[in-house]
Amino acid sequence: MKRPAQRRELAVKAVAMKASASRSTIVLGPMAEMVSPCRAFDVSETCYRYNPKLDDENEQVADLLLRLTKAKKIWGFGLCFLYLRDVQGHGWNHMAKSEG
């Protein structure tokens, strides 16, 4: 079974193929065009519309974690997180973006 992200890609391709192949005079809205592929590939409409927001901070966190796990091979994520937050003073938190 494919992951949801892979099924979403298949649904997006199916909608694009359907749109390019269909040149009928009846114009369906975007909702009607995506429902059938979503059902066919077992993808929720929310998953179909999802667009991840990437920023530079994500790359910085990933780089720090990669360097830290190379240096400290036996540390798990929790210890790496605590080290970055408490020892190095990074203020990352899953609530940081919504607070303000």
Residues 65 and 33 in one domain: no
pLDDT score at 40: 81
- Hey, CA dihedral for 76, 59, 47, 94, is it positive or negative? positive
Residues 67 and 45 in one domain: no
Q: Which residues of the chain have pLDDT under 70?
A: 1, 18-34, 92-100
**CA distances (Å), origin 86, targets 65, 89, 100:** 14, 5, 22
Q: How far apart are CA 97 and CA 100, in angstroms?
A: 6
Which residue range(s) make up the domain with 16? 4-49
pTM of the model: 0.43
pLDDT score at 98: 44
Residues 62 and 39 in one domain: no
Q: How far apart are CA 68 and CA 66, in angstroms?
A: 5
In sequence order, which residues have a C-beta less than 8 Å from that of residue 31 and are 6 or more positions away? none
Cβ count within 10 A of residue 78: 8
Residues 62 and 45 in one domain: no
